Amino acid sequence: MIAENELPFRGGGNRVRDQVLVILSEEFPLTVKELYNRIAKQGHEVTYQAVHKVVSQLMDEGIVDKKGKGIQLSQNWIHRVKDYAFTIDTIYTKGKQYKLPKTFEKPYTVVFDNFSTYVVWIAESFRDGAFTQGKTGPIYGMFYHAPGPLRFNFIDFELLRQMAANCPTRGVCVCDMPFDRWVSTHYKLGGVRAFKTGMKIKIEDDYFVAEDVVIRARFSPETIVFLDKIYSKIHDLKDLFHFYFAEVDKKDPSHIEVTIERNPTLARMIENQIKQYLAQPGKKEGKSSPKIKT
């Protein structure tokens, strides 16, 4: 968790600390003298010694790093700020929008506008038995893309391990793009029982099954285009970090509608179909199956 004194700066603040962080967020690297000149030009009464003292404090706190003769914001600090904001957003969104009913005799829908939030929420919900009244058991999944968060966090690996330990998990997915394979590898390392990519399955939505409950995730066309682009580019952790910091991919256009309902007949149909695919050898997994519709 990011410390209180590391919280994002106030854009219009009068503190020297705020001014230094604002300037370095827009222009870098800069020397202490260059920082002092820019702050003074903005009409703030400040001494060179005060700027030097603040820069030294920021370096001690790991918020800025040396870069040649100048300084710039620390990538580690930027990463921590991002993760902190993401965590707070998830907590607030969960509290307001993602509070689930005890049972799902009637369909219940949750809407996500961020793919990573959706993936992490699904994993947490399975780990905690949120769809099955606190009970945990086998999970079956049928997907277009292998679900994996696009914002990297080591905590997510621990979440995967916990989910797999609580819920023996098996899944198949249609695509076999580089990120599908990368996610599949980590599923298996995390304890997922079985997972295959490149399956000849005709599905319009993603499906999860837990006991008699079916979780259907419907992606907008824009989301599919976005995911196809990203999944085709990410081969490894280096690529994932590149995406995480890339300007071009900062906006996630995702719109995902997740519908949860108790449907024993559909649950058994999906579960049996996944078992059949997993039982077949290789990536050429037999004939295409009929589309699943609800």
Return d(Cα 192, Cα 186) in angstroms, integer.
9
Domain final residue pick, 78, 112, 138: 78
pLDDT in tens, the chain (294 residues): 444 444 455 545 568 888 898 899 889 999 999 999 999 888 778 899 999 999 999 999 889 999 999 999 988 888 777 666 666 666 565 544 567 888 899 999 999 988 988 998 999 899 989 999 888 899 999 999 999 998 777 778 888 888 999 999 999 999 999 999 999 999 998 999 999 999 988 898 999 999 999 999 999 999 999 999 999 999 988 888 777 766 444 567 889 999 999 999 999 999 999 999 999 875 443 333 434 444
Alpha helices (H) along the chain: 16-26, 32-41, 48-60, 75-97, 115-127, 154-166, 178-190, 221-233, 237-245, 264-279
Vertex 70 angle, CA 66 and 73, to 5°: 55
Number of domains in the chain: 2
- Contact by Cβ (8 Å): 92, 58: no
Q: Is residue 228 part of a domain?
A: yes
| Co-location of 107 and 158 in the same domain | yes
| Co-location of 72 and 111 in the same domain | no
Return d(Cα 6, Cα 81) in angstroms, integer.
8
- Contact by Cβ (8 Å): 17, 50: no
First to last CA, the chain: 42
Q: Is residue 290 part of a domain?
A: no
- Crossing angle between the packed helical segments 237-245 and 221-233, to the nearest 10 degrees: 130
| Co-location of 71 and 127 in the same domain | no
pTM of the model: 0.65
Q: Is residue 222 part of a domain?
A: yes
| Co-location of 62 and 155 in the same domain | no
| Co-location of 53 and 166 in the same domain | no
Residue 29's CB is within 10 A of a number of other CB atoms, namely 16
Closest CA to 233 of 172, 180, 174: 180
Domain final residue pick, 78, 110, 130: 78
| Co-location of 132 and 48 in the same domain | no
| Alpha carbon separation from 75 to 78, 157, 244 (Å, rounded) | 5, 21, 12
Residue 8: CA count within 13 A, CB half-sphere: 11
Residue 94's CB is within 10 A of a number of other CB atoms, namely 16
Q: Is residue 232 part of a domain?
A: yes
CATH number at residue 254: 3.30.870
| Co-location of 65 and 199 in the same domain | no
Q: Is residue 284 part of a domain?
A: no
Q: Residue 156 contacts by C-beta under 8 Å, 6 or more apart in sequence?
A: 120, 123, 149
* Two tokens, residue 221: 């066309």
Burial class (CB in 10 A: 0-12, 13-18, 19+), 161: middle
CATH number at residue 50: 1.10.10.10
Q: Residue 163 contacts by C-beta under 8 Å, 6 or more apart in sequence?
A: 123, 124, 126, 127, 139, 169, 190
| Co-location of 68 and 201 in the same domain | no
Domain extent at residue 17: 4-78
| Co-location of 135 and 169 in the same domain | yes
From the centroid of its chain, how far is CA 19? 31
β partners of residue 286: none
